[in-house]
Copies of this chain bind each other. A is one copy, B any other.
Amino acid sequence: MEPVRTLSQMVSRLRLSNKRRRVAVVCPNDPHTEYVIIRSLREEIAEYLLVTDEEHIDISKSLYAASPDFVRIYTAPTPDDAAALAVELVRSGEADVLMKGLINTDNLLRAVLHKERGLLPPGGILSHVAVAQIPLYHKLLFFSDAAVIPKPTLEQFRAMIVNDIKICNRLGMEEPRVALIHCSEKVNAKFPHTICYTELKKEALEGKMGKVYIDGPMDAKTACDAHSGEIKGMSSPVIGNADIMIFPNIESGNTFYKTLSLFGDANMAGMLTGTIAPVVVPSRSDSGNSKYYSLVLACLAGK
């Protein structure tokens, strides 16, 4: 399978599979969520299980009226109940993907992370993965964590990498190249994440992470620009050619996301992973396009 190189190729790949993914939406009561639903129905890539409260049911009804074969409506007394019901639809195998509508992210996550009735398998680690299509880069760039894990431990770093590799594999990248980001290439005990990086590289060399190249610490430019590596006398399969960037903390991951989106003219998508099914939690300031591609990413990454 040729690797997917652009966000619109993700859509083509999904269409080629000839199988609509079943998406449970919690409170599809805002224009952005509606837009994503309508566009994906038109593209014939998804069908919907809309979980809404009675107050906002009209929106769901109009979506149903437009595509009665591919929309079902469930009602719940409150947004929290809607979240619990949508999570249950995923747990019971009736939905492949969970998507957030007009509900507070914290409330949705409470249902997702519920110990007995949530979506995280025992010992699982929730993390965020984003993907950027950047005019000045030659392929899609995946990165973690811009949104969920503040300061990863070794175990969390490992989970983020494993989660991201799985998604890359799904998109046809058989041996993804993972850059472990820092502000320089020096391992330094003052920066504990650089010590984690050494351990992670060792595990990868021992084959514990499957088919993958892992290198670092290196700065964000060296990861994506071979010339920067050359100047520093560094070369590896990862330098200048990263598929995945792992950031040392949420502040740097979030800065990368926001800077690409604002100044890099990039199209972005993102989702939560580590759960038994992908969870789409768009940011308020994401564009409609970005929210749509987030759903597409989740549909591809799921079953």
Give the B-binding residues of A (Cβ under 8 A).
134, 136-137, 146-147, 150, 181-183, 190-191, 219-222, 224-225, 227-228, 231-232, 247-256, 258-266, 284-285
Q: For residue A191, which residue of chain B has the nearest CB?
A: B150
Q: Pick the contact of A252 from B136, B224, B249, B260 — CB < 8 Å?
A: B249
The answer to whether A262 and B220 touch across the interface, beta carbons within 8 angstroms, is: yes
Q: Report yes or no: A183 in contact with B147, Cβ–Cβ below 8 A.
A: yes
A254 touches B147 (CB 8 A): no
Q: With contacts A232-B284, A285-B228 known, is A259 near B147, CB below 8 A?
A: no
- CB pair B263–A181 under 8 Å, yes or no, is no
* Contact of A251 with B181 in the complex, beta carbons under 8 Å: yes
State A285–B230 Cα separation when bound (angstroms). 9
- Residue of B whose beta carbon sits closest to that of A141: B263
Q: Which residues of B contact A251 (CB under 8 A)?
A: 181-183, 247-249, 251-252
Shortest Cβ-Cβ A-B pairs, 3 listed: A183-B254, A263-B264, A221-B258
A193 to chain B, nearest CB (A): 8
Whether A284 and B231, one on each chain, are in contact in the complex, defined by CB atoms closer than 8 angstroms, is yes
Cα(A230)–Cα(B264), bound, Å: 21
**Nearest-CB residue, chain B, relative to A193:** B251
Q: Are A285's CB and B150's CB within 8 A?
A: no
Q: How far is the CB of A132 from chain B (nearest CB, A)?
A: 9
Q: What B residues does A261 contact at CB under 8 A?
A: 221
Query: Are B259 and A256 within 8 A (Cβ)?
Result: yes
One of B224, B247, B250 near A262 (C-beta < 8 A): B224
- Beyond contacts A225-B262, A251-B252: 15 other A-B pairs, Cβ-Cβ < 8 A, are A137-B263, A147-B183, A150-B191, A183-B254, A219-B255, A219-B258, A220-B258, A221-B259, A221-B261, A221-B285, A222-B285, A227-B285, A252-B255, A259-B263, A263-B266
Name which residue of chain B comes closest to A256, CB basis: B255
